[in-house]
């Protein structure tokens, strides 16, 4: 392959910006896009600064070109090469870019990433689809087929099995006194089973996992994951437990908000604020005693996302995004709250040494926390405003 003359991350420079840059220099060559959420490499051929053709898996031409606007995470590289491809994209300039961006904004072009939201044809969907990166088959020891309404995991049952979704959709459902609540839908690359599946013997399932139509799952090598877990430091294990605890708590809060209103706002105003929502802060802390309340302030309500206790962590975790504090939530503390600063450099170094599958599991847990938190806030904001007493 010819050495790239331009490369970078799509998070920093989006496809629209790249197209404008290549147009300005009348570029001739190949633009390659890579994402951990796709088996394919996206390719756009350029002649005199204009897209001539594009390929994305089975798609080609203008259809493939527009589909690549949904690649917002990943890497790109451009190399100057002789182009022999037939020109099939006849539009050029800002009109082509604006149309590509519009298709993404309107939900017609699906964003490639950890979360996929319903399109117009799927407007009745109960929850967004959470996806994972491309599956590492070296951790898959067996493949299983499930049919519609099969319960793969049953809430409150014991179990340590973990699966990765190879094909199809799984609904995550939690029971309540007023009926089942669908929290998430899991798509390809997602992992069924929580961090607790190998943190503890006989882990109790916090929700049910139900197949939607035909589903193919890969059974993950639990022994291999448990062996890797055994090599972690005590502090990193506590961090994983704290992350898993957050997912369980926000799941319970979402179910509660689906049916009930409580006067949490009045309570939280009486607590002391430790970290303020929206304020930049890259510190991470571990609790020594007392309680910390993770709270998001919406336009209408204070929404409780979790209650943390001794051994839990709060603050910015450098290698996982949960859309909690500091940017999307505040931390309030009880009067007896005591905490100390954690060594994020040590934790990040340890994280980087983990296998890609464990990376995916931790990232997947963070995505589920983020999506469920947004669901909780959306449900809560549908409740009527109550006057202060």
What integer pLDDT is reported at residue 195 of this predicted model? 77
pLDDT at 382: 58
Cβ-Cβ contacts under 8 Å for 362 (sequence gap 6 or more): 195, 240, 243, 319, 320, 351, 354
Tell me if residue 270 falls in helix, strand or coil.
coil
Per DSSP, the residues of 322-367 read -S-TTTT-EEEE-TT-EEEE--HHHHHHHHHTS-HHHHHHHHHHHH
Q: What ranges do the domains of the chain cover?
A: 6-105, 129-381
Nearest residue to 242 via CA among 287, 290, 273, 304: 287
pTM here is 0.79
How does DSSP classify residue 369?
Answer: H
Q: Which residues pair with 339 in a beta bridge?
A: 287
| Beta pairing partners, 186 | 130, 170
Q: What is the mean pLDDT of each run of 10 residues along the chain (389 residues)?
A: 84 91 90 92 93 94 94 92 88 84 86 69 60 90 95 86 93 85 89 74 79 94 88 94 91 69 68 91 96 89 90 94 91 94 95 92 91 80 44
Q: Residue 19's Cα: distance from chain center in Å?
A: 27
| Per-residue confidence (pLDDT) for residue 389, from 0 to 100 | 31
**CA atoms of 17 and 24, how far apart (whole Å):** 11
* Whether 208 contacts 174, CB under 8 Å: yes
The predicted pLDDT at position 120 comes to 39
Position 385 scores a pLDDT of 42
Q: Is 129-381 assigned to CATH 3.90.1150.10? A: no
């Amino acid at each position: 392959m010819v050495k790239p003359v331009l490369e970078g991350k799509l998070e920093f420079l989006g496809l629209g910006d790249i197209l404008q840059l290549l147009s300005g220099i009348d570029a001739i060559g190949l633009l390659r896009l890579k994402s951990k959420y796709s088996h394919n490499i996206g390719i756009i051929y350029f002649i005199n600064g204009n897209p001539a053709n594009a390929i994305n898996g089975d798609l080609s031409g203008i259809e493939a070109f527009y589909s690549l606007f949904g690649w917002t995470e990943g890497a790109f590289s451009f190399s100057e090469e002789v182009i022999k491809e037939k020109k099939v994209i006849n539009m050029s300039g800002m009109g082509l870019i604006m149309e590509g961006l519009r298709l993404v904004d309107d939900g017609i072009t699906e964003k490639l990433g950890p979360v996929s939201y319903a399109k117009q044809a799927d407007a009745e969907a109960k929850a967004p689809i959470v996806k994972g990166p491309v599956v590492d088959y070296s951790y898959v020891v067996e493949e299983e087929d499930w049919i519609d309404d099969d319960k793969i995991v049953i809430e409150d049952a014991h179990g340590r099995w973990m699966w990765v979704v190879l094909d199809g959709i799984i609904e995550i459902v939690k029971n309540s006194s007023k009926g089942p609540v669908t929290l998430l839908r899991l798509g390809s690359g997602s992992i069924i089973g929580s961090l607790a599946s190998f943190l503890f013997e006989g882990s109790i399932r916090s929700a049910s996992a139900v197949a939607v139509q035909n589903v193919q799952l890969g059974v993950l090598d639990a022994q291999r994951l448990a062996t890797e877990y055994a090599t972690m430091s005590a502090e990193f294990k506590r961090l994983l437990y704290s992350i898993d605890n957050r997912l369980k708590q926000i799941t319970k809060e979402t179910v509660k908000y689906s049916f009930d209103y409580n006067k949490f706002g009045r309570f939280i105003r009486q607590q002391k604020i430790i970290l303020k929502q929206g304020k930049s802060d890259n510190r991470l802390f571990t609790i020594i005693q007392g309680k910390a309340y993770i709270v998001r302030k919406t336009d209408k309500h204070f929404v409780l996302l979790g209650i943390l206790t001794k051994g839990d962590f709060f603050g910015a975790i450098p290698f996982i995004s949960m859309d909690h504090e500091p940017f999307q939530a505040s931390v309030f503390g009880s009067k007896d709250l005591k905490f100390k600063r954690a060594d994020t450099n040590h934790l990040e170094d340890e994280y980087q040494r983990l296998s890609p599958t464990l990376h995916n599991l931790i990232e997947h847990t963070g995505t589920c926390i983020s999506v469920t938190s947004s669901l909780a806030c959306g449900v809560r904001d549908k409740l009527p405003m109550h006057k202060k007493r």
